[in-house]
Structure 1
Amino acid sequence: MRQLISSGSPWEGPVGYSRAVRVGNVVEVAGTTAMDDDVVTGADAYSQAKRALEKIADALHAAGATMEHVVRTRIFVTDIAQWPEVGRAHGEVFGNIRPASSMLEVRALIDARLLVEIEATAVIS
């Protein structure tokens, strides 16, 4: 069974993606930023990472999972010097869960105001 989770973003249809997809006990959450409609929540990397993680939690909930089910995150930042702030946000959310994680610097995200994008993989046991 394949369950598609939508955020209602106007981009999902034209681009052809879902906020998250659940197949069996695995949930993949698409790259998630702090953008809601055309508004970016937070002017700094920490605030943007926190908002992205909140949105990931919402997508997981819609798929029947929680942050405790996350086994992997991938973090993309536009300035690797911001890694301590992004790492702090990640650590506050994942503390003892401690998923495998990568953080990579990228040249740009889809909007110049965005500093962080996060993907997640969850396995529901």
Structure 2
Amino acid sequence: MERQRASTGTEWEAQNGYSRALRAGNTIYIAGTTAVDLDGNVVAEGDPYAQTQHILDIIADALADVGANLDDVVRTRMYITDIAHQDAVGRAHGEIFADIRPAATMLQIEGLAEPELLVEIEAEAKLEDINGS
């Protein structure tokens, strides 16, 4: 099966051997994405809502790189470092996915790669094939 990859160009992708997005056939997988800019700086430190918005922007760009968009997302997984952030993260997620309504999971985890990171999101998308399925 042919694979199409998208990269944000961060050093971690090559170092750790992964792609930001991978399209295999009609399915697209978006790797766990955090609120880090291209220079490795945490964005919106201390603000789970703004971090979620930034993450979803990165995911939207990665989807576009492989011929998809947020409307194609069928599943998201949100990892948060403090369950008290669930409303802020959920609100940002809901603003983007209110009409799309993918299957979604939110889990509290012990921590992420940097202590300032409050949220990490994975996504899966599905495109219709030329036969419409």
TM-score normalised by the chain length of structure 2? 0.92
Counterparts of 2:14 and 2:58, CA distance in 1? 19
Counterparts of 1:93 and 1:4, CA distance in 2? 24
The residue aligned with 1:20 is: 21
Q: In the TM superposition, what is the alpha-carbon distance from 1:54 to its structure 2 partner? A: 0.4
Counterparts of 2:83 and 2:11, CA distance in 1? 30
Deviations 1:51-71 (A, max 9, x none): 000000000000100000000
Matched pairs, number: 125
The residue aligned with 2:126 is: 123
Once superposed, what is the RMSD of the aligned Cα atoms?
0.6
Q: In the TM superposition, what is the alpha-carbon distance from 1:108 to its structure 2 partner? A: 0.5
Q: Is 1:73 aligned to 2:76, yes or no?
A: yes
The unaligned stretches of length 5 or more in structure 2 are: 129-133
Deviations 1:12-40 (A, max 9, x none): 11100000100011000000011112221
Counterparts of 1:38 and 1:100, CA distance in 2? 30
The residue aligned with 1:86 is: 89
State the AA in 1 paired with 2:115.
A
Q: In the TM superposition, what is the alpha-carbon distance from 1:47 to its structure 2 partner? A: 0.3
Greater radius of gyration (CA)? 2
The residue aligned with 1:61 is: 64
The unaligned stretches of length 5 or more in structure 1 are: none
Counterparts of 1:90 and 1:107, CA distance in 2? 21
Identity percentage of aligned residues: 52
The residue aligned with 2:131 is: none
Whose strand proportion is higher, 1 or 2?
1
Counterparts of 1:60 and 1:39, CA distance in 2? 22
The residue aligned with 1:42 is: 44
User: What secondary structure sits across from 2:44 in the alignment?
Assistant: coil
TM-score normalised by the chain length of structure 1? 0.98
